[in-house]
Copies of this chain bind each other. A is one copy, B any other.
Amino acid sequence: MQRLAVDMDGVLADVYEQFFRYDEKDFGKRRPLEDVVGVEERKAFPYINEYVYTEGFFRTAPILKDSVGILAALNEVYELFIVSAAMEFPQSLPEKLEWLNEHFKFISWQQIVFCGNKTIIDADIMIDDHFKNLDQFKGITILFSQPHNQLKNSGRHKRAESWEQVASLLL
């Protein structure tokens, strides 16, 4: 069975929707998507460093479309791990665990990894939205499309625009 490492933020959790909501509260109107396409997250949202330290930010993130059903199917045919670089935001750890337990009930605690740096992850396939995690990974890599990576060439990584595309690559 191949081991599959799946990122949380920007792959399972729709953190962009959270950024848009929090940004709208600060600036009074919702920012159009085209404003943030091709822009680093930290540059796209001026107060992002406050948002990610706000209680509830990770706990209340929406789920990315189709991720629950397709991940459940992947869980049957891969040795699945959820790998989140959560250590940068210590207050997010219990929120992320609760979020997974609520929305992805088929994921056991044995399948969850919170780390700071993904170089230590030994798996066959990695799905992530950040080049810094995929570039250093030795196995098969899938770049999950998010505004910040949208205009870049995916290079050696396969690009998935949606969970349906992940399914067609891996199922």
Contact = CB atoms under 8 A, between A and B. Distances in A.
A87 B116 contact: no
Interface residues on A, range: 20 to 34
Contacts of A110: 87, 116-117
Interface in A91-105: 91, 93-94, 97
A146 B116 CA distance: 28
A57 interface: no
A116 B108 CA distance: 9
Interface in A45-98: 81, 83, 87-88, 90-91, 93-94, 97
A97 B90 contact: yes
A3 interface: yes
